[in-house]
């Protein structure tokens, strides 16, 4: 895939390609207060990519953190994903959690992956085929191989070092009030504020009606510099939205601070700003 996103028209035109695999990367548990009417349907033929319970390190107390490449490979094979698969990921909020799934495949060395711009809402709006989500489907085992790219993820130690060196620009995708430390964090037990030296580009500013803004508009919003970019948010999910936006305007290299504010905000020995 030459672009990190594809349109619903592109996917509709490529549905019969046997190499195309559609993954539903919706975060089901997060949507008790975000009813869209799309919770129980999926794009016809899609497979559920469970970020929270299957494609993360569930032994880690932090949410949504990277699992081992071997475990990712095992679970991807169970979904019938192959080395030659063309993967299209989407979610039922338009653009929310699907960029995280995209990034997971990227860091595991699979380049042929894209996010469905507009996700399930856009697909339904265009009248394309959907179906009820099946229970416990089983797929033919794939031959996916994970080839981990460690440069695409950062640890708290690396972030702490970067505060001193300023070698990279740290971009926080959270809402402005959270970045400024106004009010409490949605997760209990976390301090309010942001990592020193980071800049705030709320992911919501990069979207309109569940789709990415046109490139010419993204260029006017996104800070550009020759330095590498590191993305952070609450738990490593919406950081990937900002990352893809930069990908759309041709900025490299980029990485994600996987622990994000859920890790940084609970550790009293780490510095914060408001």
Catalytic residues: 233
For strands 211-212 and 207-208, give the pairing: antiparallel
CA distances from 150 to 165, 244, 255 (A): 20, 18, 9
Owner of token pair 């190499």: 19
CA distances from 78 to 73, 106, 138 (A): 9, 18, 8
The answer to whether 156 and 259 have CB atoms below 8 angstroms apart is: yes
- Residues 52 and 228: their CA atoms lie apart, in Å, by 28
- Residues 103 and 194: their CA atoms lie apart, in Å, by 23
Closest CA to 180 of 274, 265, 266, 272: 274
Give the largest Cα separation in the chain, rounded: 54
Angle of CA points 117, 121, 123, to nearest 5°: 70
């Amino acid at each position: 895939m030459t672009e990190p996103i594809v349109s619903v028209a592109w996917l509709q035109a490529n549905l019969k390609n046997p190499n195309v695999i559609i993954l539903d990367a919706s975060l089901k548990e997060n949507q008790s207060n975000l009813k869209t009417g799309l919770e129980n349907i999926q794009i016809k033929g899609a497979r559920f990519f469970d970020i929270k319970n299957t494609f993360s390190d569930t032994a880690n107390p932090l949410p949504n953190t990277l699992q081992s490449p071997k475990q990712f490979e095992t679970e991807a094979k169970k979904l019938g994903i192959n080395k030659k698969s063309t993967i299209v990921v989407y979610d039922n909020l338009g653009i929310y959690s699907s960029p995280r799934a995209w990034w997971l495949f990227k860091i595991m060395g699979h380049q042929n992956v894209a996010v469905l711009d507009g996700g399930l809402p856009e697909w339904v709006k265009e009248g394309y085929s959907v179906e009820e989500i099946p229970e416990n489907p089983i797929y033919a085992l794939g031959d996916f191989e994970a080839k981990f790219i460690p440069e695409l993820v950062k640890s708290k130690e690396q972030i702490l070092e970067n505060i001193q060196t300023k070698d990279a620009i740290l971009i926080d995708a959270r809402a402005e009030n959270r970045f400024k430390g106004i009010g409490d964090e949605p997760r209990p037990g976390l301090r309010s504020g942001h990592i020193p030296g980071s800049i705030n580009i709320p992911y919501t500013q990069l979207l309109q009606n569940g789709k990415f803004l046109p490139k010419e508009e993204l260029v006017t919003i996104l800070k550009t510099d020759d330095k590498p970019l590191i993305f952070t948010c609450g738990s490593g999910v919406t950081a990937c939205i900002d990352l893809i936006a930069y990908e759309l305007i041709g900025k490299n290299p980029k990485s994600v601070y996987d622990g994000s504010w859920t890790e940084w905000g609970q550790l009293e020995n780490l510095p914060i700003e408001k």
